[in-house]
Amino acid sequence: MNIIGSELKSEQKPQPVGLEHLLTARQMASFVTDGYLHIENLVPDELNRLVDEEQRSGRVKQRGYWQNSQYMQQVFNLPQVKGIIQSLVGHYPVYDHSALHIVQPKHLKAQEWHADSIINTRKYGFDIQAFYFAHDAPDEMGPTLVLPGSHLRRVNTSSIGRYKNIVGQKRMVSKAGTMFFVHEGIWHCAQPNHTDDTRYVFKLRLRPGQEQRGLFNTEGYRDEEVSNIIYRGYEIWQGNEGRLDHVARAKLWRYVTGDDTIDVSFEGALSRMNILL
């Protein structure tokens, strides 16, 4: 995977991974619907141990951790990780920023709900953020809280910070080696750490280096079971605007599949109203 820090250069050639490492149509439909994918057992145990020991040792500082940790580079060069990233942002992902987030033991204050850097002039394109736990992150350790389906409700950073608990919220309880990949618009917040252990999570944000159409394994994307993931209904928290969210979801599905005729919108609204991307 060639992660670059500025404009694409013509001499840089993509290094695609095998089809078996790309997201399936079912997985991409879940990402479009929920705004995230939570995938266990991506990173081998031995590499998890090396990263965890490095993070706890403080040998590599928080600032510049992505650039200076050979173990973190190994994590993101695993074929299964590269395949997910390629499926979401293409062959030339562009580095935006990264951070090693640390929550100390018995730190009982939660972060406010927010969406990261939600300044986006693109109609359908999106950045992703990859979160990686090198150690177990049980519920009592306060792993990141997300709100499924919130990625299509664009908000201005912490304008949702006045909320506390929202019906349908989900804490990303994880085993070592778990990664979760989120759409830039997902509402999320760190949670209190009730344990005696420090919690670490590494976050990497990437921008697409190309149009995000047909990048995953599109086999079966028109199958009924895949369409049903997109069409399955609304989250309770969406309230009266749920149908509008549903149409936005259907538009995003058209975009990522590269098929401007597929319609999984509420009551076939995209077809009835002849809406094109």
Residues 273, 274, 277: CA angle, nearest 5 degrees: 115
**Mean pLDDT, range 145-152, rounded to an integer:** 94
What does the pLDDT look like over 79-116, one tens digit per residue? 999 999 999 999 999 999 999 999 999 999 999 999 98
pLDDT of residue 59: 87
| Residue 11 belongs to some domain of the structure | no
- pLDDT bucket at 60, cuts 50 / 70 / 90: confident
Q: In the predicted model, is pLDDT for residue 151 greater than 70?
A: yes
pLDDT of residue 177: 98
Whether the Cβ atoms of residue 180 and residue 39 lie closer than 8 Å to each other: yes
| Residue 260 belongs to some domain of the structure | no
What does the pLDDT look like over 234-267, one tens digit per residue? 788 988 888 888 899 999 999 999 999 999 888 8
- Structure tokens that stand for 167 in this block: 């019906």
Percent of the chain topping pLDDT 90: 71
Percent of the chain topping pLDDT 70: 94
| Residue 10 belongs to some domain of the structure | no
Whether the Cβ atoms of residue 193 and residue 107 lie closer than 8 Å to each other: yes
Give me the torsion for CA of 1, 64, 209, 80, rounded to 10°. 30
| Residue 33 belongs to some domain of the structure | yes
Mean pLDDT of the chain: 90
| Residue 262 belongs to some domain of the structure | no
Q: Which residues pair with 4 in a beta bridge?
A: 94
- What CATH number is given to the structural domain containing 56? 2.60.120.620
Full residue range of the structural domain in which residue 145 is found: 19-207
pLDDT of residue 13: 60
Q: In the predicted model, is pLDDT for residue 272 greater than 80?
A: yes
In our burial notation (b when 16+ CB lie closer than 10 A, e otherwise), range 172-202 reads bbbebbbbbbbbbbbbbbbbbbebebebbbb
Number of domains forming the structure of the chain: 1
pLDDT of residue 6: 38
User: Which of these ranges, 31-45, 125-139, 263-277, has the smallest mean pLDDT?
Assistant: 263-277
